[in-house]
Structures are given as C-alpha cells and as structure tokens.
A and B are shown apart, each in its own frame.
Chain A
Amino acid sequence: AQTVTQSQPEMSVQEAETVTLSCTYDTSESDYYLFWYKQPPSRQMILVIRQEAYKQQNATENRFSVNFQKAAKSFSLKISDSQLGDAAMYFCAQFGNEKLTFGTGTRLTIIP
C-alpha cells in the first residue's frame, strides 16, 4: 500500500520569503512518480511540479523546487520569493500501482 504523509497542516510565510513544505511517502513500487499539487479556493487542482523517482536530479519549475531524498522517502517543496497568489492548499502525491495517492495537505498562508 502507498501512503503519503504531510506533517504540517498549516504554514505561513512572509511575502517574498522562502518556505518549505514537507512530505514523506512509503511505497513498495520501484517505478513511481511524485507530485506537488496546489488547490486554491476555486478547488481546481493545479500541478505545481513533478519528479520521476528514477531521476536523481531535483525538479525545478521557476520559483518552485523539490528536495527529493529517495532513500529517506522524502519529497519537500520549496517556494522561493513567495507571492500572494501562492496562498492555497498544497498536496503531495505519489503515483504508483496505477493510482495517485494524496497526502492530507498543507494550507499555506502568505503574509503581506
């Protein structure tokens, strides 16, 4: 069975600062993918960043980057230069065994 754990129900960060959201996972799959999704108040799920487990290099998308530690089964998201539009629920997810498993989410608040 796959499990995804997000231990921070809420986080806040000052605008323009950097924040890191934590995620750990557990899987018996050798081939899997990891994702961070953003869910703003509109409830639309938006893909933030994706990491293939077989790649050692950490994925980066503009202000968003991950720290993927495969041995530790850790997949944290770093948001640099935080903007007001970054305020949302962030879900870590793992794709394996043909299904996507989500963590419980972290609500990120941006302080102006």
Chain B
Amino acid sequence: GAVVSQHPSWVICKSGTSVKIECRSLDFQATTMFWYRQFPKQSLMLMATSNEGSKATYEQGVEKDKFLINHASLTLSTLTVTSAHPEDSSFYICSARTSGSRNEQFFGPGTRLTVL
C-alpha cells in the first residue's frame, strides 16, 4: 500500500513553454502533498506544501507564479512550471501523507525535467 505515482517520469521541453507534472496517491487519500526539487548530487529542497482544496504554501524563495500547484482532489496534485527556462531543469519529487499520519510521507518516483 501507500503508493505514489508521478507522470511523466521525464520530460524535455523548449524554453518558454509550460510543463505540468502530476502526482497521484494510488491507494490512499492524501490530504497533504509536498513538492520537492533536487539538483544533481544535492539534497531535496521543499518547494511547497499543498492541502486538498486550499492554496499551496510556498517556501521562501520559491516563485508561486512560476511554480503553480493545484491540489484539486484527495488523490491528485499538479505542479505546473510556467515559462520554463534552462535553470528550471531539475528532478522534481512529490510526496503525500494522510490525515491520520502526520509525520509519514510517501514519495513518488520523481520527474526529470530538462528545458532546452
């Protein structure tokens, strides 16, 4: 149980275009989802926290207009990178937790974004 999927697993796009990444909890309801960014050989940095039905909370330094997060249902959150640029190229990972497990997060397999 507690499986989180991400789609796509990798994407290549041209500079200036927008890219949407989906994060789904397959066998549980995720009241909260988290989006992380991981640069090569570096740690995971929390970008934002989203709760179902409400606006996402962004970490300091993360542009909310550039990284649009929508958590429209208890099983789906999306991250849209708007007007992507090469510096947005990174590995994006989502995680999800249930209301009954405050401290445990289940991670998706990640999405590698390359912006040309």
On A, residues with C-beta under 8 Å from B are 33, 42-45, 47, 50, 91, 95, 98-105
Complex interface: stretch among B11-19, B21-29, B41-49, B64-72: B41-49
A91 CB contact (under 8 Å) in B43, B95, B102, B110: B43
Give the interface SS of chain B, mostly helix, strand, loop or mixed.
strand
20 contacts between A and B (CB under 8 A): A43-B38, A43-B93, A44-B107, A44-B109, A44-B110, A45-B44, A47-B104, A91-B43, A95-B103, A98-B49, A98-B102, A99-B34, A99-B49, A100-B34, A100-B105, A102-B44, A102-B45, A103-B43, A104-B42, A104-B43
- In the complex, how many angstroms separate the beta carbon of A90 from the nearest chain B beta carbon? 11
B103 CB contact (under 8 Å) in A33, A45, A101, A104: A33
Q: Give the size range of B's interface with the partner.
A: 10 to 19
Residues of chain B within 8 A (CB-CB) of A100 are: 34, 46, 95, 105
B46 CB contact (under 8 Å) in A45, A50, A99: A99
B91 touches A43 (CB 8 A): yes
Taking A43-B38, A103-B43, A104-B42 as known contacts, 20 extra A-B pairs with beta carbons closer than 8 A to each other, sorted by chain A number, are A43-B91, A43-B109, A43-B110, A44-B109, A45-B44, A45-B93, A45-B95, A45-B107, A47-B104, A50-B103, A91-B43, A98-B49, A98-B102, A99-B46, A99-B49, A100-B34, A100-B95, A102-B44, A104-B43, A105-B42
